[in-house]
């Protein structure tokens, strides 16, 4: 039977057809830089590379990049089904708070949550409970994903205080469920992994917020920042390139187990970097247990790790340490300057150490102490002086060291100024804090609050946090430099130098020294030791600490494992009164 | 004297002040991905790395990256003073045609022209004069920068035909000036280098067209495409990462002299890649002279080069070749598949060869035959089979092999389909050719016009250009596969297999074979040789060429050094009639 159609409809159809054709004249599809692109590519390019999850006391699990991509697609699809939604350029959609150790599940979430346009809020589980609550009150998450084995006691107080949360997803290594009814929708993480995998990741603008996190708040309450897909992708790409430079030389053959918690500034970008680097194996140790970690380094053949100096110290001094051969292991240092004494101790074990630098607000990496080709033939001692510096900017980063008027200070390795930076991955703003934002972003440069010198060769060295630098008689004394020197004394275990209020000078330096286990040390020994460096012109005489206090207990640490100088300053504030 | 101002004006000033303050609440400065950022960073990070320019018959010149950045800033400032202007997102400002060999000046221009928002039009000087004129008539350049030592005869005809050109800048290795008055403003390039350097590069949107170039036009007139800053920067970053993978292993220690002319698809991105890779030395050989190039490889200690297979062939067969030790040299192959015979010959000299693939429309690199970590312990022969493939996608590239309905063909290494791709650096459109654009960009994927298979492991192999593939009795025969096999015969120098019209089968393969110098070969020998591969099941019997034609002359080449099959098809079109 022949269909009859009115002419008018024919005309309409023709119009529609023409419109469609016009629209399709260029079928060009723009390519947004979103983190799912890294995964889609890496699971094709390196499908057999491995991610190993082996928590202390638990069993070893391993997935290939290809299997991992499947997990992410399942979790992403499930999260969409649970009603979690995409944001827009510079605007949040759903925000998902995660409280977890370094697990495979966490790495899933580094891809799955942003891939659907939602924001991964990496809760700093090392903060004090009231601080965790404070960050949550600013972040206002829509959902909570939580390790129920270790953090269940947090659930009730969080739900009582943070009313935006409508969903709890719980994770367990022991198939554990919640021990009570929280009066809210709860879903086991394993359920998400059973969902049909997403075929195509949804199209997300590259400026959609992908992650949210908080500074560790050593100068006041933690401050929130967020990062877009574009920022994370470009950060990962530059870190990958810089890690290929000597002395890191990280490539496809490496086995990577950075000891930067994933809740601490994206674990320095590791979940994304291992994919771009083609890293043969990425090892996740769960909750940090040093005996277990040392065993993993050996059993999994780890070739690259990293963290704050304290972690290197622990790896070297742990009772089990001497059982293992650590030769050839590379350690990327960050968070604090690497004390020369610790460098030497690591070197004696055959570990290759190189520094890096960054901050929460910068995603984090800004500099790495890589070696220029012309330095490769230098002596070990000359190279040491370079890799102990804070480094050179990684690709695309611009930096300057400036005075209070934002003018460059001389590149003489001596004149101290504030480090200001510009790169594609610096936080746009502090959450709910326009004043702090305005104060950091001045004249088009982000002001780090770190005090540095730059050398004639362009390498920089962070001499202090602006808040830790000691102001004596209108001049600055670098606590970091003094600490590094004292750390080279063979009997010194830990050291902190702080500024203590002083009637005449404003502030004067005080050193707090912890001897190595079984060692004894006196104030005079340290003073005489420092005098040798004064004699060689390495530090001026007036930098010498007025007091050197020997203590037996370990120094207090912040949630990120750095020495808590705020607390020390408070404890010793009356030394000169 | 006290100035009196009406209250109203005070109020206005206050308003303005308030507006200013509001605007500055967030001082965040976005970071556009423009190519000047690569330079600004690299000249800080690797100031002492070197760029060497040593033309044949000329003298060696060398600048550091730091001096190079100064040159670029001078040229950029001078170009702005000469009235050249910035474009906008996806819109051209001034377009500057450059006709030049691989010189330091050309590398200056790869940064200087885009850095001011103008577009670098890299004229393919290997095209026939009428084709050059054709590309210029499409491009409509505002200025011409030209090597006057070699191309002065082009100036008058170009100016006669291309009326948009208002300025000629001439370059010479011999301080030569124009031999006549062209009735147009002419400026020596050396003058630009004397300009005060630009302090800050102007702010340019990252989607501003940075370069413009034309396909070599083997299927019709050359087609124009353009690339934005963002595309070039992301391309360079991904190529840098992929070059760090084995077997390339390119790092800061390398000396790079790719033999891809800079007018040919950005010299595969080399001017940008050497900066991101921190390459110790980048060598520019001027006009290609093979004896000179072999000497440069030796004298400058070149460790990495690359180009089309013909270039490797020339490096191996040049009369001077045997004088030099080429062990350890890496050769990145592209443009055409690497014939196995050529690979073996290079291997015998200790050269490490690995293939890559791309096209003008894709900036160009899409794949590289890098080795996954699990393959590193394979035998040399197994690895050879991988690096001879077209490779794996470089970071961020997505690809598929599809049938005519854009459905994936099986990943079996046998089923032939068209390669379609998506990456952040694919041309948005063909200049003045919406139909060709629409035809290439279909269903969100760019259709390469290349015929490929994909293996179960994800590696792809380009079996032919869609236009070169031989269609016999409704089935496809890969000319590339037949060529690769024939090339392994010890007496074969060059080979091309083409489809020739055939009454019964539509097309049948014909092989044109050039013996090695001093060798003799017969049709029967080649046929018997091919039969061994049929016997081993490597090719079906019906793929055997119906004719094998032995010729003594070198095969004709296109402007990019590939064998000109269009010309051969034309020459042998009547073989079966």
pLDDT tens by residue, B474-520 = 778 889 889 989 999 999 999 999 999 999 988 999 999 999 989 99
- Residue B22's pLDDT is what? 44
pLDDT confidence band for B19 (50 / 70 / 90)? very low
Which of A454, A483, A498 is a domain's end point?
A454
Pairing of β A95-99 and β A119-122? parallel
Using CA atoms, how far residue B146 sits from A413, B41, B97, B490, in Å, is 45, 29, 8, 44
- CB atoms inside a 10 Å sphere around CB B517: 8
How distant is the alpha carbon of residue B77 from its chain centre?
28
Question: From CA A535, how far away is CA A541, in angstroms rounded?
Answer: 9
ipTM beyond cut 0.90: no
Question: From CA B369, how far away is CA A209, in angstroms rounded?
Answer: 35
Q: Which of A113-122, A518-527, B547-556 has the highest mean pLDDT?
A: A113-122
Contacts of B51 in chain A (CB under 8 A): none
Whether residue B105 lies inside any domain: the answer is: yes
Please check the confidence at residue A82 and state whether its pLDDT lies above 90: yes
Task: Give the helix/strand (H/E) hosting B486.
Answer: helix B479-487
- Residue B217's pLDDT is what? 64
**Residues A133 and A251 placed together within one structural domain of the fold:** yes
Which of A430, A454, A478 is a domain's end point?
A454
Nearest CA in chain B to A33: B424
**Residues B490 and B416 placed together within one structural domain of the fold:** no
Test B376 with A253 for CB contact under 8 angstroms: yes
pLDDT confidence band for B9 (50 / 70 / 90)? very low
Number of domains in chain A: 2
Given A27, A396, A440, which is nearest B441 (Cβ)? A27
Residue with tokens 């030497």: A344
- Residue A7's pLDDT is what? 43
Nearest CA in chain B to A31: B424
The pTM assigned to this predicted structure is: 0.89
More confident residue, A338 or A169: A169
Residues A78-89 as b/e (b if ≥16 CB within 10 A, e otherwise) read bbbebebebbee
Test A241 with B237 for CB contact under 8 angstroms: yes
First-to-last CA distance in chain B? 103
Within 13 Å and on the Cβ side, how many CA atoms surround B286? 21
pLDDT confidence band for B242 (50 / 70 / 90)? very high
Question: What is the phi/psi pair of residue A156, to 5°?
Answer: -65, -50
pLDDT digits (tens, 9 = 90+) for A195-204: 999 999 999 9
pLDDT digits (tens, 9 = 90+) for B331-372: 999 988 888 999 999 999 999 999 999 999 999 999 999 999
Whether residue B10 lies inside any domain: the answer is: no
Whether residue B100 lies inside any domain: the answer is: yes
Given A37, A245, A442, which is nearest B27 (Cβ)? A442
First-to-last CA distance in chain A? 106
Q: Is B215 a catalytic residue?
A: yes
Looking at the DSSP bridge assignments, the partners of residue A169 are: A145, A187
pLDDT confidence band for B381 (50 / 70 / 90)? very high
**Residues A172 and A247 placed together within one structural domain of the fold:** yes
pLDDT confidence band for A218 (50 / 70 / 90)? low
Task: Give the helix/strand (H/E) hosting A509.
Answer: strand A506-515
Whether residue A148 lies inside any domain: the answer is: yes
Test B44 with A392 for CB contact under 8 angstroms: yes
Contact A277, A253 (CB under 8 A): no
Please check the confidence at residue A77 and state whether its pLDDT lies above 60: yes
Q: Where are the alpha helices (DSSP H) in B28-128?
A: 35-45, 65-81, 104-115
**Residues B274 and B317 placed together within one structural domain of the fold:** yes
- Residue B156's pLDDT is what? 97
Q: Is A542 a catalytic residue?
A: no
pLDDT digits (tens, 9 = 90+) for A315-331: 999 999 999 999 999 99
For the domain that residue B415 is a member of, what is the CATH number?
Answer: 3.40.50.12780
Using CA atoms, how far residue A192 sits from A74, A80, B316, in Å, is 6, 10, 58
Given B244, B441, B458, which is nearest A28 (Cβ)? B441
- Of all residues in chain A, the percent with pLDDT exceeding 90 is 82
**Residues B384 and B519 placed together within one structural domain of the fold:** no
Q: Is A215 a catalytic residue?
A: yes
Whether residue B13 lies inside any domain: the answer is: no
Whether residue A241 lies inside any domain: the answer is: yes
**Residues B212 and B333 placed together within one structural domain of the fold:** yes
Test A28 with B438 for CB contact under 8 angstroms: no
For the domain that residue B491 is a member of, what is the CATH number?
Answer: 3.30.300.30
Q: Which among A219, A123, A127 has a CA at the least distance from the CA of A557?
A: A127
Given A244, A424, A458, which is nearest B47 (Cβ)? A458
Using CA atoms, how far residue B408 sits from B126, B402, B411, in Å, is 37, 4, 8
**Residues A160 and A265 placed together within one structural domain of the fold:** yes
For range B39-50, the mean pLDDT: 98
Q: Is A558 a catalytic residue?
A: no
Test A438 with B27 for CB contact under 8 angstroms: yes
How distant is the alpha carbon of residue A135 from its chain centre?
17
Please check the confidence at residue B264 and state whether its pLDDT lies above 60: yes
- Of all residues in chain A, the percent with pLDDT exceeding 70 is 95
B253, B347, B414, B471: the active-site residue: B471
**Residues B482 and B417 placed together within one structural domain of the fold:** no
Question: What is the phi/psi pair of residue A428, to 5°?
Answer: -70, -35
Q: Which of A9-13, A535-539, B231-235 has the highest mean pLDDT?
A: B231-235
Q: Which domain holds residue B204?
A: 35-454
pLDDT digits (tens, 9 = 90+) for A356-367: 999 999 999 999
A190, A196, A471, A538: the active-site residue: A471
Query: Residue B148 has which token pair?
Result: 């006057």
- Residue B409's pLDDT is what? 96
**Residues A228 and A122 placed together within one structural domain of the fold:** yes
Q: Helix or strand or coil: residue A273?
A: helix
Q: Which among B238, B225, B79 has a CA at the least distance from the CA of B144?
A: B79
pLDDT digits (tens, 9 = 90+) for A372-426: 999 999 999 999 998 888 999 999 999 999 998 999 999 999 898 999 999 999 9
| B129 Cα to chain A: minimum distance (Å) | 31
Test B278 with A372 for CB contact under 8 angstroms: yes
Test B44 with A251 for CB contact under 8 angstroms: no
Whether residue A459 lies inside any domain: the answer is: no
A215, A367, A390, A558: the active-site residue: A215
pLDDT digits (tens, 9 = 90+) for B60-100: 999 999 999 999 999 999 999 999 999 999 999 999 999 99
CA dihedral A551, A557, A562, A565 (to 10 degrees): -60
- Residue B160's pLDDT is what? 97
Whether residue A69 lies inside any domain: the answer is: yes
Question: From CA A48, how far away is CA B375, in angstroms rounded?
Answer: 11
Please check the confidence at residue A526 and state whether its pLDDT lies above 70: yes
Contacts of B252 in chain A (CB under 8 A): 245-246, 371-373, 376
Test B41 with A397 for CB contact under 8 angstroms: yes
**Residues B244 and B308 placed together within one structural domain of the fold:** yes
Q: Which among B230, B216, B226, B324 has a CA at the least distance from the CA of B557?
A: B216
- Residue A3's pLDDT is what? 42
Residues B260-282 as b/e (b if ≥16 CB within 10 A, e otherwise) read bbbbbbbbbbbbbbbbbbbbbbb
CA dihedral A243, A248, A252, A258 (to 10 degrees): -80
**Residues B415 and B482 placed together within one structural domain of the fold:** no
**Residues A394 and A485 placed together within one structural domain of the fold:** no
Which of B392, B423, B454 is a domain's end point?
B454
Please check the confidence at residue B435 and state whether its pLDDT lies above 80: yes
């Amino acid at each position: 039977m022949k269909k009859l159609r009115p002419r008018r409809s024919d005309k309409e159809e023709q119009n529609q057809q023409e419109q469609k054709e016009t629209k399709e004249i260029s079928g060009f599809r723009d390519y947004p830089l979103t983190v799912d692109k890294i995964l889609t590519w890496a699971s094709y390019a390196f499908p057999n590379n491995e991610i190993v999850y082996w928590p202390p006391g638990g069993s070893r699990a391993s997935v290939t990049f290809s299997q991992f991509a499947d997990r992410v697609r399942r979790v992403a699809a499930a999260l969409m089904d649970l009603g979690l939604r995409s944001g827009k350029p510079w605007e949040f959609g759903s925000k998902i708070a995660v409280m977890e150790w370094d697990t495979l599940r966490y790495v899933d979430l580094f891809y799955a949550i942003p891939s659907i346009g939602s924001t991964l809020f990496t809760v700093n589980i090392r903060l004090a409970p009231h601080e965790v609550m404070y960050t949550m009150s600013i972040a206002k998450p829509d959902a909570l994903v939580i390790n129920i084995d270790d953090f269940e006691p947090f659930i009730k107080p969080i739900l009582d205080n943070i009313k935006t949360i409508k969903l709890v997803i719980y994770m367990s290594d022991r198939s554990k469920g919640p021990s009570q009814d929280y009066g809210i929708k709860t879903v086991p993480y394993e359920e998400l992994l059973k969902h049909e995998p997403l075929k195509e990741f949804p199209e997300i603008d590259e400026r959609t917020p992908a992650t949210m996190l908080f500074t560790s708040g050593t100068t006041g309450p933690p401050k929130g920042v967020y990062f877009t897909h574009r920022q994370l992708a470009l950060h990962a790409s530059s870190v990958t390139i810089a890690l290929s430079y000597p002395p890191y030389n990280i490539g496809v053959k490496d086995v990577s187990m950075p000891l930067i918690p994933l809740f601490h500034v994206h674990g320095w970008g590791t979940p994304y970097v291992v994919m771009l680097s083609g890293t043969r194996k990425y090892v996740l140790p769960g909750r940090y247990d040093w005996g277990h970690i040392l065993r993993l380094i050996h059993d999994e053949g780890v070739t690259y790790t990293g963290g704050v100096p304290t972690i290197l110290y622990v790896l070297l001094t742990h009772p089990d340490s001497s059982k293992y051969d650590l030769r050839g292991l590379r350690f990327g240092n960050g968070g604090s300057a690497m004390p020369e004494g610790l460098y030497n101790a690591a070197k004696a074990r055959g570990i290759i150490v190189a520094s890096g630098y960054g901050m929460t607000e910068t995603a984090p990496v800004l500099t790495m102490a890589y070696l220029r080709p012309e330095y490769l033939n230098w002596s070990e001692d000359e190279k040491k002086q370079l890799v102990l510096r804070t480094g050179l900017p990684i690709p695309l980063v611009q930096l300057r060291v400036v005075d209070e008027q934002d003018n460059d200070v001389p590149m003489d390795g001596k004149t101290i100024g504030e480090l200001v930076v510009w790169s594609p991955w610096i936080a746009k703003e502090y959450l709910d804090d326009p004043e702090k934002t305005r104060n950091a972003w001045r004249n088009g440069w982000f002001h780090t609050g770190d005090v540095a010198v730059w050398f004639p060769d362009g390498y920089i060295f962070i001499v202090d946090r602006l808040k830790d630098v000691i102001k004596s008689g209108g001049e600055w004394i670098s606590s970091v430099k003094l600490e590094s020197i004292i750390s080279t004394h063979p009997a010194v275990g830990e050291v902190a130098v702080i500024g203590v209020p002083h009637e005449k000078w404003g502030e004067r330096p005080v050193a707090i020294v912890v001897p190595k286990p079984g060692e004894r040390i006196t104030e005079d020994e340290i003073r005489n030791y420092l005098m040798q460096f004064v004699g060689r012109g390495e530090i001026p005489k007036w930098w010498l600490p007025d007091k050197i206090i020997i203590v037996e207990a370990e120094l207090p640490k912040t949630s990120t494992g750095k020495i808590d100088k705020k607390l020390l300053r408070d404890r010793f504030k009356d030394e000169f009164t």
